[in-house]
Amino acid sequence: MIPFEYIRPSGQKAALDAIAKDASAQFIAGGTNLVDLMKKGVVSPQKLIDIGKLPLKEIKEANTGLHIGALALNSDVAENEIVKTKYSLLSQALYAGASAQLRNMATVGGNIMQRTRCTYFYDTTMPCNKRKPGSGCGALKGYNRMHAIFGASENCIAVHPSDMCVALTALNATILVSNNKGERKIPFGEFHRLPGDHPETDNTLQKGELITAIIIPENNLQHSCYLKIRDRASYAFALVSVAAALEIADGKTKDVRLAMGGVAHKPWRLTDAEKFLKGKPATENNFQQAAQIAIKGAKGYGNNNFKIKLASAAITEALNKAAGKA
Amino acid sequence: MNTQKPRQASENGSDGFNASRRDFLKLSSAVAAASITPSVVTKAADKKVDERIADYFEKMTLNIEVNGTAQQLQVEPRVTLLDLLREQLHLTGTKKGCDHGQCGACTVHADGKRINSCLSLAIMNEGKKITTIEGLAKGEELHPVQQAFIKHDGFQCGYCTPGQIMSAVSCIREGHANSAGEIREFMSGNICRCGAYPNIVDAIMDVKKGGQDV
Ligand SMILES: Cc1cc2nc3c(=O)[nH]c(=O)nc-3n(C[C@H](O)[C@H](O)[C@H](O)COP(=O)(O)OP(=O)(O)OC[C@H]3O[C@@H](n4cnc5c(N)ncnc54)[C@H](O)[C@@H]3O)c2cc1C
Ligand code: FES
Ligand code: FES
C-alpha cells in the first residue's frame, strides 16, 4: 500500500471542509472495501479522512420514516428490532451479505459506495474502463460469469455487488447527502448510474459530498423475501438476488416491490413486473408471468447467459416465499 | 537524525507535518533537515531511503488497549491492525490468511465485536480495546471455547484456529449459536482449508449447551 496522509475529524463540518479542500482525499468508514482496493493498488488516495468518529450512527423512527445514520454498522442495522419487524427486507438483505466480522465493520454509507467486484477491475494488469478509462472492458469478451444482464454498455458490464442496496431500492429509500454548503436528498433509484460512456463514475454523488443518512418511508409490505443465489451457501457475492415485498389484501396484490442484485451496474428495479402484479391475485401463476416480464430485454455475454433463466426462477421463488407459498 | 515527535491525528490536517511523502520528496530543504543528502533522496527509485523518510515523517501516535494492556504506539497510517499485532507487538497468534477479508484467520475483537484485522487500519482503532487469541485464556486456564476445540478436535493444521475461536466466542455471545444451521451461517466468515467444520460446529454447540460464561 502506498503511503498516504490520514486525518480523523471529530465533527461533520471539519470532515466536509477537509474533503472540499483536497480533491485527492477520500473518506474512509469501515475500510472493508477501501483498504482492500488500496492493497491491490486499484485506488491510491493521497489522503484519507476517517469519518468513523462522526456522530452518524443513530437508527431512529421519525415522522418521515426510519432514519439510519450513514455510519450505522451493517450488523447493528440488521439486528435492530424496528428494522427486523417493519423493514424485514432490509434486515434479510444485510444478513445475506459478507460475514459476521465484515458486517461489524461495514457501514451503511460504505456499503452504498462500495465498488464492483469485477475481476478485471481488481486486476491492475487487465484492461478496465472503470479503473482506467479508455483501456477497454476486459470482461466483455473475457470471463464474464458474474457480470451484468441488464443495462450494460459496450464499455462496461460490471455489476454493483451490494445486497443492502437492492432492499433499499425496493423500499423507496432516500439518501441524504451534505457538502460544506448544504444538504440534498437523492432518491435511491437515482443514486447509482448505468455505465454508458462513463463507467468510471459509479453514482451521482459529487466530489465533496458526504452521505449522512438514509430515510426509508413507512410501508405496509408485510410479506417480504430477500433471496440470494450464490456459489456457496454463505459468504459469497450474489450471482443473482431478488428483493420481493408484497402488501396483500383479500388475496390481491395491493402493493408490490421487486428489485434485483448481481444483474446490473446498479440495483435493478423491476418496474414493469411490479405494474403487472398490482391489483392481481397473489398467485404463483401471476408470479411466473411477472418474472417473464422482468427478464425481457436481458442480455447475456457468454459465461453469464445462465443468469437470465436463473433470474426468472429466482423472481418467482422470491415472490412465492414472500407470499408464503413456498 | 533529529528527533522530531511523530504527529498526532489532527482535526483538519493543517498541522506542520501533513506533507505527503510525494510532496516531501520535492522539498529539498526538508530533505536536508533529515540529514540525508538530496542527491540520494531524490532518486525516487531508491526505496530504502524513500521508506526511511516516509517512516520518519508519517508515523502517528496510536492509543490502544491490547489484551488488557494500554499502549501508546507509533504507527504509519498504512499499517493494518493485523500487521501491528503481528509485526510490532509480536502477537503472532492472530494469523494472516488472505489479507483481504476473505478467510477470517485474522479475526480479533475490537471493543467486544469480532472484526477482520486485515482490513482495519491500526490507526482507525484509536481508543479501542482489542482482544486477540493470546488474551482469551485466564492465565493457565483455557477459555471454554478453547477447551471445546481441543475436546472436539476442531482443527487439523490449526492455521485457521485462532480466528475460528475468536469468531466462535462472538457467535455465542451474539446469540447466534442456537442450532447447527445458525452456527454454520454465522461462522461462515471463517474458512478452514482442512475442513474441520463439523467438529468446529460440535465444539460451539457443546459450549452453548453447557451454558458456560463466555
Ligand atoms: C470478503 C468480502 C465479502 C463481501 N461480501 C459482500 C456481500 O455478500 N454482499 C454485500 O453487499 N457486500 C459484501 N461485501 C462488501 C461490504 O459490504 C463493503 O465492503 C462494505 O459495506 C463497505 O463499507 P465500509 O464502511 O467498510 O466502507 P469503506 O471501505 O470505508 O468505504 C468504501 C467507499 O465508500 C466511501 N464512503 C464510505 N462512507 C461514506 C459516506 N458516508 N459518504 C460518502 N462516501 C463514503 C469511501 O470513500 C470509499 O470509497 C464484502 C466485502 C468483503 C471484503
Ligand atoms: S487474513 Fe483477514 S480475512 Fe483473511
Ligand atoms: S485447521 Fe487447517 S485450515 Fe482449519
Q: What is the 3-state secondary structure (H, E, C) of chain A?
A: CCCCEEECCCCHHHHHHHHHHCCCEEEECCCCCHHHHHHHCCCCCCEEEECCCCCCCCEEEECCEEEEECCCEHHHHHHCHHHHHHCHHHHHHHHCCCCHHHHCCCEHHHHHHCCCCCHHHHCCCCCCCCCCCCCCCCCCCCCCCCCCCCCCECCECCCCCCCHHHHHHHCCCEEEEECCCCEEEEEHHHCECCCCCCCCCCECCCCCCEEEEEEECCCCCCEEEEEEECCCCCCCCCCEEEEEEEEEECCEEEEEEEEEECCCCCCEECHHHHHHHCCCECCHHHHHHHHHHHCCCCCCCCCCCHHHHHHHHHHHHHHHHHCCCC
Decide if A193 contacts A201 (C-beta within 8 A). Answer: yes
Q: B40 pLDDT exceeds 90? A: no
Q: Which residues pair with B108 in a beta bridge?
A: B115
Task: Please work out whether the CB of residue A310 comes within 6 Å of at least one atom of ligand 1.
Answer: no
Question: Rounded to the nearest whole angstrom, what is the distance from the C-alpha of residue B193 to the centroid of ligand 3?
Answer: 5
In a domain, A63, yes or no: no
Task: Name residue, grid cell 444485510.
Answer: A94
- Cα B134 to Cα B20: distance, rounded to the nearest angstrom: 36
Would A23 be classed as within a structural domain? Answer: yes
Say yes or no: A2 contacts chain B, CB-CB below 8 A.
yes
Segment A88-112 shows an average pLDDT of: 98
- Once rounded to an integer, what is the mean pLDDT over residues B24-43? 41
Check residue A304 and give its pLDDT: 98
Residue A296 has pLDDT above 50, yes or no: yes
Predicted pLDDT at B35 = 42
A77-91, A292-306, B18-32: least confident range? B18-32
Q: What is the mean pLDDT of residues B97-117?
A: 98
What's the structural domain count of chain A?
A: 2
Name the residue facing B170 among A36, A40, A100 (closest C-beta).
A100
**Weakest mean pLDDT among A178-187, A204-213, B55-64:** B55-64
Split at pLDDT 50, 70, 90, the class of A32 is: very high
CB atoms within 10 A of CB B120: 25
A255: containing domain? 223-322
The band of B57, judged by pLDDT with boundaries at 50, 70 and 90, is low
DSSP structure string for B86-153: IIIS--TTS--SSSSSSS-TTEEEETTEEEEGGGSBGGGGTT-EEE-GGGTSBTTBPPHHHHHHHHTT
Rounded Cα distance between B111 and B125, Å, is 9
Residue A100 CB contacts under 8 Å (≥ 6 apart), including other chains: A75, B114, B167, B170, B171, B174, B176, B186, B187, B188, B189
Contact by Cβ (8 Å): A47, B20:
yes
pLDDT of the residue at A182:
97
> What angle do helix axes A284-294 and A306-322 make, rounded to 10 degrees?
140
**CB contact, 8 Å: B161 with chain A?**
no
Q: What angle do CA A52, B63, B133 make, to 5 degrees?
A: 90
Specify if A120 maps to a domain.
no
Count of pairs with CB atoms under 8 A, one residue in A, one in B: 118
Q: Give mean pLDDT, residues B12-37.
A: 41
Confidence of residue B34 (pLDDT cuts 50, 70, 90): very low
Q: How confident is the model at residue A325 (pLDDT cuts 50, 70, 90)?
A: confident
Predicted confidence at residue B24, as pLDDT, reads: 46
How far apart, in whole angstroms, are the C-alpha atoms of residue A313 and residue A288? 8
Same fold yes or no, B58-135 and B144-210: no
Can you tell me the ipTM of this complex?
A: 0.97
Q: Decide if B115 and A104 are in contact by the 8 Å CB cutoff.
A: yes
Whether B42 and B81 have beta carbons less than 8 Å apart is answered as no
- Least reliable range by pLDDT among A200-214, A253-267, A294-308, B42-56: B42-56
Q: What is the pLDDT of residue A265?
A: 98
| B-chain residues near A35 (CB < 8 A) | 80, 119-121
pLDDT of residue B54: 54
Instruction: Report which protein residue has its CA nearest ligand 1's atom 39.
Output: A109
pLDDT score for B73: 98
Task: Render pLDDT for A172-205 as a digit per residue (tens, 0 to 9).
Answer: 999 999 999 999 999 999 999 999 999 999 999 9
**Which candidate from A8, A105, A235 shows the least CB-CB separation from B126?**
A8
Mean pLDDT of A86-103: 98
pLDDT of residue B9: 54
Which amino acid makes up residue A78? Answer: A
Q: Does the pLDDT at position B47 exceed 80? A: no
Work out the percent of chain A whose per-residue pLDDT is above 70: 100
pLDDT band at A268 (very low <50, low <70, confident <90, very high): very high
Residue A85 inside a domain? The answer is no
Taking the alpha carbons at both ends of chain B, their separation in whole angstroms is 49
| Res. B52 pLDDT band, cuts 50 70 90 | low
pTM over 0.90: yes
Interface check for A102 against chain B (CB to CB < 8 A): the answer is: yes
- Class of B58-135 per CATH? alpha beta
> Does the pLDDT of residue B94 top 60, yes or no?
yes
| pLDDT level of residue B11 (50, 70, 90 thresholds) | very low
In this prediction, residue B37 carries a pLDDT of 39
Asked whether residue A36 is assigned to any structural domain, the reply reads yes
Instruction: For chain B, give every domain's residue range.
Output: 58-135, 144-210
Is residue B5 predicted with pLDDT exceeding 50? no
Q: Indicate whether B33 pLDDT > 90.
A: no
The tens digit of pLDDT for each residue in A133-144 reads: 999 999 999 999
Q: What CATH number should be reported for the domain holding residue A248?
A: 3.30.390.50
A55-84: average pLDDT: 97
Q: How confident is the model at residue B22 (pLDDT cuts 50, 70, 90)?
A: very low
Q: Length of chain A, please?
A: 326
Report pLDDT for A326: 73
Residue A162 lies in a domain: no
What's the pLDDT at B46?
52
Average pLDDT over residues B131-150: 97
Cβ–ligand 3 contact at B98 (below 6 Å) = no
Q: What is the mean pLDDT of residues B126-137?
A: 98
Residue A168 pLDDT more than 60? yes
* Residue A73 lies inside a defined structural domain of this protein: no
Q: What confidence score (pLDDT) does residue A237 get?
A: 98
Residues 12-31 of A with CB under 8 A from B: 14, 17-18, 22, 28, 30-31
CATH fold of B144-210: DNA polymerase; domain 1 (1.10.150)
Does residue B4 have a pLDDT over 60? no
| Residue A278 Cα to chain centre, angstroms | 25
Residue A100 lies in a domain: no
Residue A295 pLDDT level (bands cut at 50, 70, 90): very high
> Is residue A257 over pLDDT 70?
yes
Ligand 1 contact via A163 beta carbon (within 6 Å): yes
CA dihedral A71, A74, A80, A84 (to 10 degrees): 130
Name the minimum distance, in Å, from the CA of B118 to any CA of chain A.
9
Looking at every residue in chain A, the average pLDDT score rounds to 97
Residues B169-214: pLDDT tens digits?
999 999 999 999 999 999 999 999 999 999 999 999 999 999 989 9
Indicate yes or no: CB of B116 within 8 angstroms of CB of A101: yes
